[in-house]
Chains A and B, each alone.
Chain A
């Protein structure tokens, strides 16, 4: 079972102390020392002066306002096919310490941060959704884990209730956590998907430190699915290592025997990829990490990714494990892959991200 996150210290931005979410978090963490601060930038700078700011930041909770927009288009990557996803940045960072995590390089702020100005979130969501005619896919879980803080923030319930009334959105909570108690208390809306990031047992154990093991994630997915939610899975990043075929087969078998495919909204695949600047961060924080040692070449977007024949081999093999689900109509898609790889591995040739979006927003699902 997952050891729930309890920070060693809370920093509360002075200007954020009257938000209900700040009060709720502090109430639920009443034994954790709270320090009120004037300037979050100064705090972040101070932390950045430590020898491992990223590791240290995982023990701290910062409650602050998000001054910009909560909602942003997923940046995806140039030269490869995206899926028109919109991301909601409710939180930043997460207590898990995954070797490959892009946030180690992407964010300047190393602290686990909850943006507490929820009224701004709702008004910004209203603004976007009131002016969108097509169905959009939108979700948290891009710059943080969607559920790992849910016992503290109870944000999932509020988001679910908000999106229940928004039928032009498919809302996704994306997680590695098994923190599902709040979800189970809500009636599942049709347009909400709870998705788990999955990997092989070996990769989860060695490269996804502090995250729940894969079986626990699958069991959590089963519970949520039994409650009536649609669920999703993201095999991302798929990692090559000696024994990867058996490793991913074991997870596939576990999934196939536990989950009803009719409840699955989508399954995505993405192979390990990262900008070159992340490599030095990984080497510094995890000098013995072997995930950097396979045949990673520079892709068309300048990021490292596996040599294409190896990616194709891996995708085909793992998709083969799910053959019954593929032919049965469960939507599979690739994250940040080329048209060529889509066609060769999935036998689908989407013409741009709108087509991928259409595939995943189909009303039949």
Chain B
């Protein structure tokens, strides 16, 4: 490997065969280049009498933005693309800020350069801290082949593998339609909405457009007063209600009954998770004997009412599948 300072114009940036980073902001890097210069020279190889960048895309693009004339580089004399790319792999493996998409790009490039799949699974995936099975390998390749909007979303939100896997199960057009909603949510909510949506569309034999064109969805999606997050949350709730109609009805029944009874908020009544147990629970938080007596007295009176008996009958019958 030879160290050299070369003119920026002599680097042939149109050849992106080794490039794995596509979406980034250069501001921080430019500030650093301005103040201390390039401390970590990129690696280039010679291909067809041209200098092709192997590592250091961000650094070179930042240097270009700053209109620098020349940059220090290492010239690698490796003629085989796969072996040359190993430099990028090892450099990237050390980078803690690498997103899942960038890691997927690394894996995908290795496959394209003809690396043995077994080696990728056994050596490279662990090096990149990626789950390593043949199934995962397929997913990394699919990720790198996604449309640009989705790749940008995956990168900018550093989307986790489970969410990415869910997203991959939708066709391209549907994925693109989902991105504005998903970008307003955290990863847990993203996973839930994608799972529910996939199951719902499959069960009801619907296309996403058919669903989102329904009046109840349109009302939310076109409401200008709602923020992106509010819209996303409302859409998620609508999907959940449709995905779990009986559970939703049961929850609504409980809410209705409690409302009708003016059930005191300070002693919340709740069912077991998903009503799986037939017991209900009332929380009675208190600070002293007086408070405890007052709350229990209030509850005793409530429990003795006709409305409470009716509520229990309704809930028991619904729970019993009647």
Contacts and interface: CB of A to CB of B under 8 A. Distances in A.
Contact of A307 (B134, B202, B275): B275
Contacts of A127: none
A292 B321 contact: no
Contact of B169 (A287, A312, A338): A287
Interface stretch (B47-55, B146-154, B229-237, B240-248): B240-248
A132 interface: no
B278 interface: yes
Contacts of A48: 133
B275 A51 contact: no
B276 A284 contact: no
B203 A309 contact: no
Given A284-B135, A308-B275, A308-B321, A295 B169 contact: no
Interface in A284-298: 284, 287-288, 290, 292-295, 297-298
B273 A298 contact: yes
A49 B247 contact: no
Interface string B281-322: 000000000000000000000000000000000000011110
Interface string B254-280: 000000000000000000011111100
Contacts of A49: 118, 121, 133-134
Contact of B274 (A283, A307, A338, A344): A307
Contacts of A288: 202
A151 interface: no
Interface residues of B, number: 28
A44 to B, nearest CB: 14
Contact of B202 (A293, A295, A316): A293
Contacts of B246: 295, 307, 309-310
A300 B276 contact: yes
A294 B203 contact: yes
A300 B199 contact: no
A355 to B, nearest CB: 20
A297 B247 contact: yes
Nearest to B250: A309
11 contacts: A50-B134, A51-B135, A284-B135, A293-B202, A297-B244, A297-B247, A297-B274, A298-B273, A309-B319, A312-B321, A340-B277
Interface of A: 48-51, 280, 283-284, 287-288, 290, 292-295, 297-300, 307-313, 316, 338, 340, 344
Given A51-B134, A308-B274, 4 more contacts: A298-B273, A299-B274, A308-B319, A316-B321
